[in-house]
Amino acid sequence: MGESRGGGCCPSMDLMRSETMQLVQLIVPMESAHLTVSYLGDLGLVQFKDLNSEKSPFQRTYAAQIKRCGEMARKIRFFKDQMSKAGVLPKEMLEKEIDIDLDDVEVKLGELEAELVEINANNDKLQRSYNELMEYKLVLQKAGEFFSSAHRSATAQQREIESQQTGEDLLESPLLQEEKAIDSTKQVKLGFLTGLVPREKSMVFERILFRATRGNIFIRQTVIEEPVIDPNSGEKAEKNVFVVFYSGERAKSKILKICEAFGANRYPFSEDLGRQAQMITEVSGRLSELKTTIDAGLGHRNILLQSIGDKFELWNLKVRKEKAIYHTLNMLSLDVTKKCLVAEGWSPVFASKEIQDALQRAAVDSNSQVGSIFQVLRTKESPPTYFRTNKFTSAIQEIVDAYGVAKYQEANPGVFTIVTFPFLFAVMFGDWGHGICILLATMYLILREKKLSSQKLGDIMEMAFGGRYVILMMSIFSIYTGLIYNEFFSIPYPLFAPSAYDCRDASCSEATTIGLIKVRDTYPFGLDPVWHGTRSELPFLNSLKMKMSILLGVSQMNLGIIMSYFNARFFKSSVNIWFQFIPQMIFLNSLFGYLSVLIIIKWCTGSQADLYHVMIYMFLSPTDELGENQLFPHQKIVQLVLLFLALVSVPCMLLPKPFILKKQHEARHQGQSYAPLDETDESLHVETNGGSHGHEEFEFSEIFVHQLIHTIEFVLGAVSNTASYLRLWALSLAHSELSSVFYEKVLLLAWGYNNVLILIVGIIVFIFATVGVLLVMETLSAFLHALRLHWVEFQNKFYEGDGYKFAPFTFIFTANEDE
pLDDT tens-digit series, residues 384-431: 999 999 999 999 999 999 999 999 999 999 999 999 999 999 999 999
- Per residue in 714-766, pLDDT (tens digit) is 999 999 999 999 999 999 999 999 999 999 999 999 988 888 999 999 999 99
Task: For residues 351-365, give the mean pLDDT.
Answer: 95
Domain boundary at 676, 709, 742, which?
A: 709
Q: Is residue 556 part of a domain?
A: yes
Question: Given this model, what pLDDT does residue 7 score?
Answer: 37
Question: Given this model, what pLDDT does residue 93 score?
Answer: 72
**Residue 275 and residue 137 share a domain:** yes
Task: For residues 178-207, give the mean pLDDT.
Answer: 73
Q: How many domains does the chain have?
A: 3
**Residue 128 and residue 37 share a domain:** no
Query: Which of 615, 620, 619 lies closest to 631, judged by CA?
Result: 615
**Residue 128 and residue 243 share a domain:** yes
Q: Is residue 177 part of a domain?
A: no
- Per residue in 212-221, pLDDT (tens digit) is 888 888 888 9
CATH number, domain containing residue 126: 3.30.70.2750
Question: Given this model, what pLDDT does residue 502 score?
Answer: 81
Question: Residue 434 pLDDT > 80, yes or no?
Answer: yes
Question: Residue 657 pLDDT > 90, yes or no?
Answer: yes
**Residue 133 and residue 278 share a domain:** yes
Q: Is residue 681 part of a domain?
A: no
Question: Residue 97 pLDDT > 70, yes or no?
Answer: no
Which of 16-30, 327-341, 480-494, 802-816 has the weakest average pLDDT? 802-816
Domain boundary at 292, 317, 346, which?
A: 292
* Spatial contact of 689 and 709, defined as CB atoms under 8 Å apart: no
**Residue 275 and residue 139 share a domain:** yes
**Residue 199 and residue 128 share a domain:** yes
**Residue 141 and residue 24 share a domain:** no
**Residue 268 and residue 135 share a domain:** yes
Question: Given this model, what pLDDT does residue 677 score?
Answer: 43
**Residue 344 and residue 278 share a domain:** no
**Residue 225 and residue 143 share a domain:** yes
Task: For residues 255-273, give the mean pLDDT.
Answer: 87
- Per residue in 453-480, pLDDT (tens digit) is 878 788 889 899 999 999 999 999 999 9
Query: Which of 113, 105, 111 lies closest to 314, judged by CA?
Result: 105
Q: For the residues of 578-627, what is the DSSP string, one character each? A: IIIIHHHHHHHIIIIIHHHHHHHHHHHHT----HHHHHHHHHH-TTS--G
Question: Given this model, what pLDDT does residue 188 score?
Answer: 57
Query: Which of 50, 52, 69 lies closest to 61, judged by CA?
Result: 52
Q: Which residues of 638-648 are buried (b: 16+ CB within 10 A; e: fewer)?
A: ebeebbebbee
The H-or-E segment that residue 275 falls in is: helix 273-329
Q: Is residue 439 part of a domain?
A: no
Q: Is residue 254 part of a domain?
A: yes
Task: For residues 301-319, give the mean pLDDT.
Answer: 92
- Per residue in 612-655, pLDDT (tens digit) is 999 999 999 998 988 889 999 999 999 999 999 999 999 999 99
Domain boundary at 292, 314, 345, which?
A: 292
Q: For the residues of 792-806, what is the DSSP string, one character each? A: IIIGGGT------B-
- Domain hosting 135: range is 120-155+189-292
Which has more pLDDT, 317 or 688?
317
Q: Is residue 314 part of a domain?
A: no
The amino acid sitting at 201 is: K
Distance CA 449, CA 468 (A): 9
Question: Residue 331 pLDDT > 80, yes or no?
Answer: yes
Percent of the chain exceeding pLDDT 90 equals: 63
Instruction: State the DSSP code for 667.
Output: H
Which pLDDT band holds residue 179 (cuts at 50, 70, 90)?
very low
Distance CA 386, CA 435 (A): 34
Which has more pLDDT, 390 or 94?
390
From residue 778, how far is each of 445, 487, 735 by CA, in Å?
20, 16, 7
Q: Is residue 130 part of a domain?
A: yes
Model pTM score = 0.80
Question: Residue 509 pLDDT > 60, yes or no?
Answer: no
Query: Which of 663, 651, 762, 772 lies closest to 707, judged by CA?
Result: 651
Question: Residue 666 pLDDT > 90, yes or no?
Answer: no
Distance CA 15, CA 387 (A): 9
Which stretches of 7-62 are DSSP H helices?
Answer: 30-43
Angle between helices 635-654 and 700-724 (to 10 degrees): 140
Q: Is residue 426 part of a domain?
A: no
Distance CA 262, CA 312 (A): 44
Which pLDDT band holds residue 177 (cuts at 50, 70, 90)?
very low
H helices, E strands: number in the chain: 25, 13
Which stretches of 44-101 are DSSP H helices?
Answer: 63-86
Question: Given this model, what pLDDT does residue 8 score?
Answer: 37
Sign of CA dihedral 568, 572, 577, 579: negative
Question: Given this model, what pLDDT does residue 675 score?
Answer: 44
Express the helix, strand and coil content of the chain in percent, nearest 5 each: 60, 10, 30
Distance CA 625, CA 771 (A): 54
* Spatial contact of 424 and 789, defined as CB atoms under 8 Å apart: yes
Which pLDDT band holds residue 812 (cuts at 50, 70, 90)?
confident
Which of 491-505, 565-579, 594-608, 663-677 has the weakest average pLDDT? 663-677
**Residue 342 and residue 270 share a domain:** no
Give strand ranges (E) for 85-216: 191-198
Which pLDDT band holds residue 154 (cuts at 50, 70, 90)?
confident
CATH number, domain containing residue 27: 3.30.70.240
